[in-house]
Amino acid sequence: MIAYVVRRLLYAVPILIGVNIVTFALFFVVNTPDDMARMQLGIKRVSPAAIESWKHEHGYDKPLFYNRAAAGFGKISDTIFYRKSLRMFVFDFGASDDSRDIGYEIRKRAGPSFAIALPTFMVGLLIYITCALGFALFRATYLDFWGVALCVVAMSISAMFYIIGGQYLIGKLWNLVPISGYAGTAAGALRFLLLPIAIGIIGGFGASARLYRTFFLEEIGKDYVRTARAKGLGEGAVLFRHVLNNAMIPILTTVVVAIPSLFLGSLLTESFFGIPGLGSYTIDAINMQDFSIVRAMVFIGSLLYIAGLVLTDISYTLVDPRVRFS
């Protein structure tokens, strides 16, 4: 078991290195730091001196991989690749274009992001699975049919409409919760978080509930279910004791796939609701075209995804004994 987890963790290292190389290529090879400087300073009529000083200010005036001018280890360390890319592995993200420490910002903003993503994820999962089980229990009835029809309609609506509609209906028309904003204290934050969380859950309902329903139906068609019924078990016992356990494996697999999209979802949610989390930070960075922040967020995002992969592998061992004993 421990060897298995260690193996999965080690497997994550080359992937993280690969991500780093891809982002480095994207940010420094496709476009040179000169282009970046020119864009920050305005495309037209920029003097070469201004470009040089901008590059020097932001630490882009070094060679990409190998610095001949430096001495000793500086040949490697005094380069853009080392400074901007390798330093990320020790969570040193450097400064953003407006000279703030990105690492500090990320630590500060991780809290609010987490406060939205985690409840949305957990409560959502619980609701989706419950509904999907309900559809499976009442399969081939009107409840199932209209439930699935509702899911198809719900998944055809863009997440943005849920957010805008929810903000308008609950925030503006009914005045139940503030439309947007955030407060530092736990009790104060709750007021601001309720609506985004609820909308996040509703927005994901259609696709997830329908998908989990197919997982359940697939399991219900299998031999062990027929055996369980033949033993004389009731429908409830069959569903909850046998089908649910076995359907957890494909559900866990898709949940991990959903983690990056959860990130995308909270990107939108945070920006619409004005919550000072990582998502709104990223969107602001994109709008200001601050590449150092985008680069840091790509790294963090991949790190989260890979952590999710490892977590899935671990959770497999909990729900599937075959993995545990192999």
Partner 1 sequence: MSDFQVMPWIDRVMALWHQLVFLWTDRLVYFLIAVIVLTVCYVRRREHLHAPWRRVAQSASGMVGLALLLAFVAVGLLDSLHFKQPRSVEVLSVLDVVLRPLRAHAEKTYSAPLAIRSYAMETVILPGGGEQRVFPRLIYGGAQLADVERDYTGDITRRIVLGAAAGLLAWGGLVWMFAAVRGEARSEWRRIWRGETTVPWRAIALALLPMALFSGVMVALTGGYHVFGTDKVGQDVLYEALKSIRTALVIGTLTTLLMVPFAIVFGIAAGYFGGWIDDAIQYVYTTLNSIPAVLLIAASILMMQVFIDRHAEWFATEAERADVRLLVLCAILGVTTWTGLCRLLRGETLKLRELDYIQAAHAFGVNTLRILTRHILPNAMHIVLINVVLAFSDLVLAEAVLSYIGVGVDPSMNSFGTMINGARLEMAREPMVWWSLASAFVFMVTLVLAANLFADSVRDAFDPRVRIARPPSAAAFQSHE
**Residue numbers of the site for partner 1 (CB under 8 A)?**
14-16, 18-19, 22-23, 26-27, 30-31, 35-36, 38-39, 43, 152-153, 155-161, 164, 167-168, 172, 217-218, 221, 260-261, 263-264, 267-268, 271-272, 282-283, 286-287, 289, 291, 294-295, 297-298, 301-302, 304-306, 309
DSSP bridge pairs for 101: 95
Q: Which is nearer to partner 1, 194 or 309 (CB)?
A: 309
The answer to whether residues 153 and 206 touch, using CB atoms and an 8 Å cutoff, is yes
State the minimum distance, in angstroms, from the CB of residue 135 to partner 1.
15
State the minimum distance, in angstroms, from the CB of residue 64 to partner 1.
16
Tokens 């040193």: give the residue.
92
Q: Which is nearer to partner 1, 11 or 66 (CB)?
A: 11
Burial of 104 (0-12, 13-18, 19+ CB in 10 A): exposed
The answer to whether residues 269 and 119 touch, using CB atoms and an 8 Å cutoff, is no
State the minimum distance, in angstroms, from the CB of residue 141 to partner 1.
17
Q: Which is nearer to partner 1, 16 or 76 (CB)?
A: 16
State the minimum distance, in angstroms, from the CB of residue 308 to partner 1.
9
> Cα(323)–Cα(312) distance, rounded to whole angstroms?
12
Q: Which is nearer to partner 1, 141 or 158 (CB)?
A: 158
Per residue, the 3-state secondary structure of 245-300, as one string, reads: HHHHHHHHHHHHHHHHHHHHHHHHHHHHHCCCCHHHHHHHHHHHCCHHHHHHHHHH
State the minimum distance, in angstroms, from the CB of residue 46 to partner 1.
12
Q: Which is nearer to partner 1, 34 or 92 (CB)?
A: 34
Which residues have CB under 8 Å from 213's CB, separation 6+? 132, 135, 136, 148, 151
Residue in 121, 148, 116 with CA at minimum distance from that of residue 132? 148
Q: Which is nearer to partner 1, 128 or 215 (CB)?
A: 215
State the minimum distance, in angstroms, from the CB of residue 307 to partner 1.
10
